[in-house]
Amino acid sequence: MDYEFLWRPVFQSLPQLLKSALVTIEVSIISMIIGLTIGLLLFFARSSTIWLVRFFAGVWIEIARNTPALFQLFFFKFGLGAIGIIIDSYITVVMALAFNTAGYMAETFRGGFKAIPSSQLNSARSLGMTFVQSQCYVVIPQVLRAVWHPMTNQFIWVMLLTSLGMLVGLRELSGETQFLYSKTFRAFEFFAATAIIYYCIAKLMLLLFRLIAWRLFRGQ
């Protein structure tokens, strides 16, 4: 082995790396929030009385969960690009990850709603609350707790998936790493450093979600 480790370039580029890590975090959070919201809507849409709405939600969930996330991303970037719809890389990544997350979250919500006895909804309705009020104040808070762990996993998964962004030219953490490595040829050093940054982001997210759970679900 005649590879000589050289860490200086990594330390010199650390501010740049950390800046791109912020892009990763930003894209993750936006994708999660949009994906979570659409996932919830998809869950309700799937039990809609309107045939077309049910069908649309079903197709979305099936495609999101049964095709590679990379293909979904390429579809939004190059597929749509081929027919003349050119979208900025940042937005493409958000769209693809939100699309993917929504499909998975719809399934997770299905399990979560199933875990709440129908008598909870009946109780809420019997007090004069509307369907939407009953869902918002009684059912969904309980669902949130039931899906908290799978949701946390999904969110970390989304954060890691943002690395696909480098394949459509987004300078998030992986994209930036790729760029710096091609400039300095310090492949091992840069990828190792980036792996550590991803690891730290994941651990921080876990910690944050634990804290939120502790705050939200105390006493239960």
Partner 1 sequence: MIEIKNLKKSFDDLQVLKGIDLTVNNGEVLSVIGSSGSGKSTLLYCINALEPIDSGSILVDGTSVHDKATDVNKLRQKIGMVFQQFNMFPHLTAQENVALAPRKVKKMSKKDAMDLAARQLEHVGLGEKLDSYPSALSGGQQQRVAIARALAMEPSYMLFDEATSALDPELVGEVEDTMRMLAKEGMTMILVTHEINFARDVSDRIAFFHQGRMEEINTPEQLINHPASEHTAKFLSNVR
123 binds partner 1 per the rule CB under 8 A: yes
State the nearest-atom distance from the C-beta of 155 to partner 1, in Å: 21
**Residue 7 per-residue DSSP state:** -
Residues 6+ apart with CB under 8 A from 78: 168
Tokens of 129: 């609350």
For the chain, the residue count is 220
Task: Pick the closer one to partner 1 by CB: 121 or 167.
Answer: 121
At residue 109's C-alpha, the angle toward residues 108 and 114, to 5°, is: 105
Q: Where are the alpha helices (DSSP H) in 47-115?
A: 51-66, 69-74, 80-82, 89-114
Q: How far apart are CA 142 and CA 154, in angstroms?
A: 19
149 binds partner 1 per the rule CB under 8 A: no
212 binds partner 1 per the rule CB under 8 A: no
Q: Which of 70, 86, 115, 127 binds partner 1 (CB under 8 A)?
A: 127
Residues touching partner 1, count (CB under 8 A): 21
Stretch of 34-42, 79-87, 119-127, 184-192 lying at the interface with partner 1 (CB under 8 A):
119-127
47 binds partner 1 per the rule CB under 8 A: no
Q: Would you tell me which residues interact with partner 1 (CB under 8 A)?
A: 117, 119-120, 122-130, 133, 137-138, 141-142, 145, 217, 219-220
